Structure 1
Amino acid sequence: MKRSFGSGLLIWALLICVFSLPVTAQQIPIDEVTKITVEGNNYVSDFEILNSVQTTVGDQTNQDALRADMQSVYDMGYFSDVNIVFENYQGGLNVIFEVVENPVLKEIKISGNEGLYSRTEILNVLDLDLDTVLNVKKMNQNLKKLQSKMQDDGYILARYHDVNISEAGVLDIQITPGRLDSIEVSGNTKTEDKVVLREMPIEPGDIINIKKIQKGYQRLLRLQYFENINPELERVDSEQNLARLVINLTEGKTGKLNFGGGYSSTDGWIGFIDVSEKNLFGKGQRVGVRWQFGDSTTYSLNFYEPYLWDTDFSFGISVYDKESERTTSDDQDYTKKSRGGSISIGHPLPKDWRTSLRYKAEHVEEYWDDTEETISDDNLRSLTLSFSRDTSDNPFNPRHGTINNLSVEYAGGFLGGGMEFTKFNLDSRRYFPGFKNHALAVRMKLGLSDPREPLAGEEYDLGGSDSLRGYQQSDFDDEIPNNDLLLFNIEYRIPFNDSFTGVIFTDAGNVWDDSDKISLSDLYVGYGLGVRMNTPVGQLRLDYGWDEDNEGRLHFSIGNTF
């Protein structure tokens, strides 16, 4: 025979039985209590039981007090039944608490927890000792803790289904975790279903976890294919605890034709025409063509396939031709030409990390504008191994999460080319919520290189709108080889409305020719104010920064700094 404690009510249902029993066959006799004893207990001591009783020897019997004592004994959790009887004793009454102990716990069986928690994890939460009388009160409390843990961990449909204890002391706990019956995609007229489904880290048959659904939502949001994404869970079978996930979508524009112009502190006066498609033929592929002209001229073509042949591997290819006019710190003008391309293969890693391997081939030439004398003329062949992780909550204005990128680039050697170096790059960003809808953004960027030959145009750039504001690149050119870089950026972002955001920033950084010389006390500091404006061609950025001599400089660019 098994005792069943049900789902939710558990042993408390037995209280009804306790209150329905008379304390005696007739009414309570009124007399002095001359003795208090316990009968029926084999494992729980008299002392422990009587310690919960308020009535003492010498008291007059009182119906309400004795009922309260009986309830207190029952609430200890060790007994399936409690009663009170009386017998004459030394001119008064012996009050006898008759108890029926719960079975001695010999074994705990758990079923339905596969894919949810290990047996050890559940036992740790239940915290029940074998070879002792089952304490139902403690069991109920810890079952509630287990239910809370499942909810907190994202298993929103999981519950313990049935709890039984046999006369032999075998406790049987059945758990129903709640599984996904199916996934339905609705509202997509261009994007293929598989493009949506592959971003969801949950499949039919899996245990439903709201955190996985939220992660899939974030992935779909980062695609920037949809104006609205609304995932919903619908119950399809209460008995089997099954639900269906419906992803309701409103598709947005994924193709863009942007053109415009302006002044960039890095590239001078520029104009551009940018044609791109983020969701080519609804298959999730990206393609883009860009022409930038002015003081800097660039032609580029790129293509990216995030799931090559429906596998987890990504593939990217790009070609470019860039020519930019630059000025040294002593006002000498020179031109840098770069022509090349790259091919990359990527693959996801655990814990939201991703790795990629890129092969790059480039021809770099630099010459003086006045004499056309060649400064450098070399070929670059390199392999770059990268690791990245993005847990930010918004691709445009994040207020939570981190973005981390770590890469190692090897050039020369067996790859050929005239440049030989190894570069180590770290770019780490973190976002914090500020007052109301404000945000605090922090970045650290570290670059280290081991040049076996002069870097010849592959040095680190510092100064300008994307790094150390209040300075320009020519402030750090040609004095020393910029083999190593350390940069810190802090921004406090204040949205005024959907179109404008104000920024308060502080930057600190420097470049060195040797990593042994890197020092926090050797950093240049810039600070200032900025504004971001959302436009049809993207986010325009205008910053005004001051250097350490309080000389101001205006910076203009497109997109967030970081």
Structure 2
Amino acid sequence: MKKGLLSALLILTLLLSFSSAAAAQNIPINEITKITVQGNDYVGDFEILNAVQTEVGDQTDQEALRADMQSVFDLGYFSDVNIVFENFEGGLNVIFEVVENPVLEAIELSGYEGLYTAASIKNELDLQTGTVLNVKKMNQNLKSFQEKMQDDGYILARYKNVNISDEGVLTVEISPGRLDTVEISGNTKTDNDVILREMPIEAGEIININKIQRGYQNLYRLEYFENINPELERVDSENNLAKLVINLDEANTGRLNFGGGYSSTDGWIGFVEASEKNLFGNGQNIGAKWQFGDTTTYSLNFYEPYLMDTNYSFGFSVYDRETDRTTSYSGSDESLDYIRKSKGGSLSLGHPLPKDWSTSLRYRIEDTEEVWDETNPDYSDVIEGEKFTDTELRSLTLSFNRDTSNNRFHPTSGSINNFSVEYAGGFMGGNMDFTKFNWDSRRYFPGFSDHAVAARMKLGLSDPRTPLGGEEYDLGGSDSLRGYERSDFDSADRANNNLLLLNLEYRIPFNESFTGVLFTDAGNVWEDRDSISLDDLKYGYGLGMRMNTPVGQLRLDYGWDEDQDGQLHFSIGNTF
């Protein structure tokens, strides 16, 4: 009988109620001269009677005593509560008869593997062995723990069985909810494996909605699909199984773009670009570009995110670039034009790390020469067409990257972090010898309504063992310190070996295609690391407009420098 009562109390209701059938019947109307408790071996009389509102000297009241019985029952220590009466000193002795729950001797857990440790679950239940089981506390803590499982993403997790034996052993069996299968629909080009490898959950694993959401974000970042709609469907309620259905609408991943314009970084430009982000549906990226104007570039790049079906990524690029640039010249107030010619390429190998980090190792080779432009004035010490820089760069770069931003064009949360160390010269060869440390950190925050706040800090430190030449840091222009041209910080009398850049933007989307921006920038470049100072920063501020197009995001900014001189900046792609 006792075991039956306990089982009824412990069946996953989590909210216990007191049955009115247990209330005293035919209560005699008389003065209460004593109140006592019987049946309690472990729970003290004081704790029980403290829950009783009826006092000695009161007249018996059926509703009041019914409420007292409920209050005693709600203490959680008893499987049954009743009231009996006996005559005492001319009145009635009201006796609360209680049946205590078993003393908790042990807690046995099952089904929790892959969710939490047994110790952490017992800590959440907060039940002390060696004491009478408090069912009220147990049910409250079971409910809180189930809410924790839901909050942690285990949306199908539930209790399969909760019971207490006569020997005081509490059994808690959890059914975590597992993934039966993954079905994909709508992909006519992309291979199933390309999609499945982006999902951090497989058939047979415990379902976690956070993993499914992360997989959705991974697929979204691929830009292979116009619409992605993952759904969970129950397939076996008894065994708590569900299947994941990923509904897709594929996008056009091939591009043939051409156009022209003015970039404050590259001057007047025209370009023709062909690319395919999902080559043959295998998830590979290949692209070729011809850019002409003040900068002429021929480039070819290829990227394989899963080399030979492993977690290693592989990429290579080759390029040939010629750029018209300007610098000041020692002993002259005027600027001089020169041409930088670069040929090179790179090979990279990457691998994911825990907590959304990834790492890559890149080998880069580049040969650069700089010659004076024939349009320069006739300076006695400048010979038209003379080669004044000839460098051979061979370097290795180790990078660590993490991207948790929630949107490619208009992120409102998350961050992007990149840290890299580049080593050139030494055993690598070439005639350039340096070590560069680069840190680029970006954070995104929600603003008013659907607005966003974006912040970036970029730090570059170099240890040049030979002059950096073309590897010096650039500052000024559309991608860094707006309101200034790059030539404002480029000098033949100073090497830009170190850089600090701070950017802050407030972004206001007008619709899916247009976004307005208010910005302020601060930064500078220094030759010596000891010269870096926040008091030596140059400041710029302004406003701009972003337009999303099939070519990418077009960017137009107008910035003012510290002297209130304005500069118009046009470029392609988001600032940061």
CA contact (8 A) 1:7 1:161 kept: no
Task: Give deviations 1:485-514, integer Å, cap 9, x for gaps.
Answer: 000011111111222111111010000011
Return the letter of the residue paired with 1:485. Answer: L
Compute the TM-score of the two structures, normalised by the length of structure 2: 0.95
Distance 1:305 1:492 in 2: 35
Return the letter of the residue paired with 2:21. Answer: S
Q: Which residue of 2 aligns with 1:206?
A: 205
Three-state SS of the structure 1 residue aligned to 2:141 is helix
Check if 1:384 corresponds to 2:397: yes
Aligned length: 557
Compute the TM-score of the two structures, normalised by the length of structure 1: 0.98
Three-state SS of the structure 2 residue aligned to 1:262 is strand
Return the letter of the residue paired with 2:497. Answer: N
Task: Give deviations 1:132-167, integer Å, cap 9, x for gaps.
Answer: 000000011111100110111011000122110011
Counting only pairs closer than 5 Å after superposition, residues 68-147 of structure 1 correspond to structure 2 as 68-147=67-146
Task: Give deviations 1:228-277, integer Å, cap 9, x for gaps.
Answer: 00000000000000000000000000000000001111111110001000
By how many angstroms is 1:443 displaced? 0.5
By how many angstroms is 1:304 displaced? 0.2
Counting only pairs closer than 5 Å after superposition, residues 137-286 of structure 1 correspond to structure 2 as 137-286=136-285
Q: Which moved more, 1:434-443 or 1:382-391?
A: 434-443
CA contact (8 A) 2:11 2:163 kept: no
By how many angstroms is 1:372 displaced? 1.2
CA contact (8 A) 1:200 1:213 kept: yes
Task: Give deviations 1:358-397, integer Å, cap 9, x for gaps.
Answer: 0001101111113111121010000000000000001121
Q: Which residue of 1 aligns with 2:380?
A: none
Q: Which moved more, 1:89-98 or 1:344-353?
A: 89-98
Distance 2:560 2:272 in 1: 32
Q: Which residue of 2 aligns with 1:423?
A: 436
Q: Which residue of 2 aligns with 1:499?
A: 513
Q: Which residue of 1 aligns with 2:345?
A: 341
Return the letter of the residue paired with 1:107. Answer: A
By how many angstroms is 1:480 displaced? 1.3
CA contact (8 A) 2:14 2:143 kept: no
Task: Pick the aligned partner of 1:554 from 568, 571, 575.
Answer: 568
Distance 2:524 2:146 in 1: 53
By how many angstroms is 1:11 displaced? 6.6
Give the unaligned 5+ runs of structure 2: 329-333, 375-383
CA contact (8 A) 1:409 1:423 kept: yes
CA contact (8 A) 2:321 2:341 kept: yes
Distance 1:194 1:221 in 2: 16
Return the letter of the residue paired with 1:476. Answer: F
Distance 1:388 1:22 in 2: 68
Distance 1:516 1:145 in 2: 55
Task: Give deviations 1:105-158, integer Å, cap 9, x for gaps.
Answer: 000011100000111111111111110000000011111100110111011000
Distance 2:246 2:15 in 1: 41
CA contact (8 A) 2:392 2:430 kept: yes
CA contact (8 A) 1:102 1:135 kept: yes
CA contact (8 A) 1:448 1:483 kept: yes
Return the letter of the residue paired with 2:326. Answer: T
By how many angstroms is 1:474 displaced? 0.7
Task: Give deviations 1:60-103, integer Å, cap 9, x for gaps.
Answer: 11111111111111010000000111111111111111000000
CA contact (8 A) 1:31 1:92 kept: yes
By how many angstroms is 1:7 displaced? 4.6
By how many angstroms is 1:20 displaced? 1.4
Task: Give deviations 1:441-473, integer Å, cap 9, x for gaps.
Answer: 100000000001111110000000000000011
Distance 1:419 1:11 in 2: 74
Q: Which moved more, 1:531-540 or 1:447-456?
A: 531-540
Return the letter of the residue paired with 2:92. Answer: L
Q: Which residue of 1 aligns with 2:331?
A: none
Give the CA RMSD over aligned residues: 1.1
Give the unaligned 5+ runs of structure 1: none
Q: Which residue of 2 aligns with 1:23?
A: 24
Three-state SS of the structure 2 residue aligned to 1:328 is strand
Q: Which residue of 2 aligns with 1:12?
A: 16
Counting only pairs closer than 5 Å after superposition, residues 454-473 of structure 1 correspond to structure 2 as 454-473=467-486
Three-state SS of the structure 1 residue aligned to 2:370 is strand
Task: Pick the aligned partner of 2:547 from 529, 533, 536.
Answer: 533
CA contact (8 A) 1:10 1:163 kept: no
Q: Which residue of 1 aligns with 2:362?
A: 358
Q: Which residue of 1 aligns with 2:46?
A: 47
Check if 1:401 corresponds to 2:414: yes
CA contact (8 A) 1:6 1:162 kept: no
Check if 1:64 corresponds to 2:77: no
CA contact (8 A) 1:532 1:539 kept: yes
By how many angstroms is 1:8 displaced? 3.3
Task: Pick the aligned partner of 1:512 from 526, 533, 536.
Answer: 526
Q: Which residue of 2 aligns with 1:300?
A: 299
